[in-house]
């Protein structure tokens, strides 16, 4: 019994009620505050999805502009404080650096939740970009949309509109996703009446693991190792024979293909269509599709009772590479959007939640009698 509980990983346990998102693992549907993910991702900018999480409705153009301005100002404020972060951004791993940098953010009692979220989300983007630039961080441009400025701060030059659109599609797609491990982590911290920054720091730690947000870098490593679509079969079969997991495949909740994989695939195809035909995106996409097909077939043969299909991370790798981000920034870029989801869950937990405190089952010896 005790072993079963440990191995069960709280599967199917309802740990919160939420208005933020709904994951239907059987049908392969993701709803963000009343909107199917495919209806808003690729059609609306990140700011709109963030507004939706906090206000429950999509913003008017004026409301979008106002959140955009707040994020821009918060990016500048975060940049001005880079010097106060000690050696946090010198840590060699980007997620370690992000965790350490976010831990430096101040706690402001009484700050309104949307303003606090904007401050944290903006800081995450600035810290990640600054980490990637080392000694030469790029000052934010507060007038730019959040996604455009993020790409600019990383690359040191203005991004193309097509790249910004693709990144926006990604950021909207991953902004929230039910009771995933990092969101649950944030909720546990919030449930103790701790502060939002602490909840986000803890969530970053949970997201880092390769079973959660750490998969897209290894997905790209896999695509590199396979090289050509013809190599997929042998590579996948050798990896499975070694007992390895195929990164970007399988999901705790989805029993069909992750709906976010479709949305990201569409965004990659749009990006390819906007390119001049010389970009390597199309080749990458064809390779990814071949590997996915092969992995799905071989996993189905090995696990006939457990559908293991592509998850969000599979095409995340292809999309983030296509917009010019290095693979070290894949998981931190995920965090830069999911931070908005974490903050929204923290607020919800504070308003409606109760201390999260489950029980454990003791399996060791009782004290010796006498
Ligand atoms: N490749 C190979 N085998 C896999 C697999 C994968 N990607 N995902 C699951 N399996 C196998 C497990 O080894 C297990 O086999 P077993 O019963 O013979 O031991 C079986 O499928 C069930 O897996 P389980 O670990 O119970 O699933 P889970 O719900 O705990 O895990 C993931 C879900 C996402 C952690 C898992 O599918 C995985 O590790 N995927 C790769 C990492 C990844 O892409 N993470 C991003 C998630 S969005």
Ligand 1, CB within 6 Å, residue ranges:
9, 211, 215, 245-252, 299, 303, 306, 308, 311-313
What separation in angstroms does the CA of 117 have from each of 3, 99, 122, 302, 340?
39, 16, 8, 44, 6
303 is catalytic: no
* Coil, helix or strand at residue 310: strand
pLDDT for the residue 5 = 58
Instruction: Return the ∠ at Cα 316 (arms to 310 and 318), rounded to 5°.
Output: 100
Ligand 1, atom 30: nearest CA belongs to which residue?
252
Element (H, E) at 64: helix 61-80
Q: Report the separation in Å between the CA atom of 266 and the middle of ligand 1, taken as the mean of its atom positions.
A: 25
**CA 64/CA 70 separation, integer angstroms:** 10
* Coil, helix or strand at residue 23: strand
Question: What residue ranges of the chain have pLDDT lower than 70?
Answer: 1-7
pLDDT digits (tens, 9 = 90+) for 117-146: 999 999 999 999 999 999 999 999 999 999
Q: Report the separation in Å between the CA atom of 224 and the middle of ligand 1, taken as the mean of its atom positions.
A: 22
pLDDT for the residue 352 = 86
> Which of left, alpha, beta for 110 (phi over 0: left; psi -120 to 50: alpha)?
left
């Amino acid at each position: 019994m005790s072993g079963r509980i440990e191995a069960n990983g709280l599967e199917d346990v309802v740990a919160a009620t939420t208005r933020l998102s709904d994951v239907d693992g059987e049908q392969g549907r993701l709803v963000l505050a009343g909107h199917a993910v495919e209806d808003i991702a690729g059609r609306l900018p990140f700011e709109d999805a963030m507004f939706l999480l906090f206000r429950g409705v999509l913003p008017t153009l004026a409301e979008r502009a106002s959140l955009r301005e707040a994020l821009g100002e918060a990016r500048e404020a975060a940049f001005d404080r880079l010097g106060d972060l000690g050696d946090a951004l010198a840590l060699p791993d980007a997620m370690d650096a992000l965790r350490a940098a976010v831990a430096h953010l101040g706690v402001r009692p009484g700050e309104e939740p949307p303003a606090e979220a904007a401050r944290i989300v903006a800081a995450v983007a600035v810290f990640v970009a600054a980490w990637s630039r080392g000694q030469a961080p790029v000052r934010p441009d507060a007038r730019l949309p959040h996604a455009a400025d993020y790409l600019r701060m990383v690359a040191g030059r203005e991004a193309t509109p097509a790249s910004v659109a693709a990144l926006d599609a990604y950021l909207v797609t991953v902004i929230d996703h039910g009771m995933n491990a990092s969101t649950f982590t944030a909720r546990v911290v919030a449930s103790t009446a701790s502060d939002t920054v602490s909840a986000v720091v803890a969530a970053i730690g949970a997201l880092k693991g390769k079973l959660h947000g750490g998969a897209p870098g290894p997905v790209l490593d896999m695509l590199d190792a396979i090289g050509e679509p013809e190599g997929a079969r042998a590579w996948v079969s050798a990896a499975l024979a070694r007992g390895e997991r195929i990164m970007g495949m399988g999901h705790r909740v989805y029993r069909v293909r992750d709906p976010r994989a479709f949305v990201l695939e569409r965004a990659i195809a749009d990006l390819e269509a906007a390119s001049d035909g010389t970009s390597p995106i199309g080749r990458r996409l064809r390779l990814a599709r071949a590997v996915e097909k092969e992995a799905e077939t071989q996993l189905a043969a090995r696990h006939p009772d457990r559908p293991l299909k592509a998850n969000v991370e599979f095409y995340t790798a292809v999309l983030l590479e296509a917009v010019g981000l290095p693979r070290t920034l894949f998981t931190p870029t995920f965090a830069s959007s999911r931070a908005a989801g974490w903050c929204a869950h923290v607020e919800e937990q504070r308003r409606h939640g109760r201390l999260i405190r489950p029980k454990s089952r003791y399996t060791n010896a009782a004290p010796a009698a006498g």
